[in-house]
Amino acid sequence: KSIEVTVPAKTAVDTDQEAVDNEASKITSVTEPTKDATTLTMPTVSSGYTISIKSSTNENVIKKDGTIVPPDAET
């Protein structure tokens, strides 16, 4: 005996990328560090996602791993 199964075609839209884009659009700011803070507080993201710093315009102050080196003057 046989059972017929119909497999639908794949979705034309990249739903994985759409989900990532939707998650990223929720991030609108980063909390300003407190005086003498040594770690940047990253925004919260949904379970299954991680967030990281891609670049810093001043890695002497904020490194890509989120470490803060408090500067002598406000930067």
pTM over 0.85: no
Confidence grade of residue 60 (pLDDT, cut at 50, 70, 90): very high
Confidence grade of residue 14 (pLDDT, cut at 50, 70, 90): confident
The residue with tokens 């059972």 is 3
| 61 CB-side CA count, 13 A | 12
Q: Euclidean distance between the first and final Cα of the chain, in Å?
A: 74
Asked whether the predicted pLDDT for residue 36 surpasses 90, the reply is yes
What's the chain's average pLDDT? 90
Confidence grade of residue 17 (pLDDT, cut at 50, 70, 90): confident
